[in-house]
Structure 1
Amino acid sequence: MSWDLPHPFTLDIAVEASHIDHYGHVNNAEYLRWVERASWAHSRALGLGLEDYRALDRGMVVHRHELDYLAPAFEGDRLQIATWIVACDGRLTLERRFQLRNDTTGATLLRAHTRFACIELSSGRPRRMPARFVEVYGGAVISPAVC
Structure 2
Amino acid sequence: MTWLYPNPFIKTWRIEAKHIDHYQHVNNVAYVTQLETTSWAHSNQLGLTIEQYQGIDRGMVISQHQINYLAAAHYGDVIDCATWITQCDKKLKLTRQFQFIRTADQKTLLTAQTDFICIVLSSGKPTRMPALFADTYSAALTLTS
Q: Which secondary structure does the structure 1 equivalent of 2:36 belong to?
A: helix
Output aligned runs, 1:1-147, within 5 Å. 1-143=1-143
Percent of pairs identical after alignment? 49
User: How far, CA to CA, are the matches of 2:68 and 2:24 in structure 1?
Assistant: 19
1:44-73 CA-partner distances (Å, limit 9, x unpaired)? 000001001011110000000000000000
User: How far, CA to CA, are the matches of 1:2 and 1:45 in structure 2?
Assistant: 23
Q: How many pairs align?
A: 145
Which ranges in structure 1 are unaligned for 5 or more consecutive residues? Answer: none
What is the CA RMSD across the aligned residues, in angstroms? 1.2
TM-score between both structures, scaled by the size of structure 1: 0.96
Q: Which secondary structure does the structure 2 equivalent of 1:98 belong to?
A: strand
Q: Which secondary structure does the structure 1 equivalent of 2:25 belong to?
A: coil
User: How far, CA to CA, are the matches of 2:41 and 2:73 in structure 1?
Assistant: 22
Which ranges in structure 2 are unaligned for 5 or more consecutive residues? Answer: none
How many angstroms does 1:122 deviate by? 1.2
Q: Which secondary structure does the structure 1 equivalent of 2:111 belong to?
A: strand
TM-score between both structures, scaled by the size of structure 2: 0.98
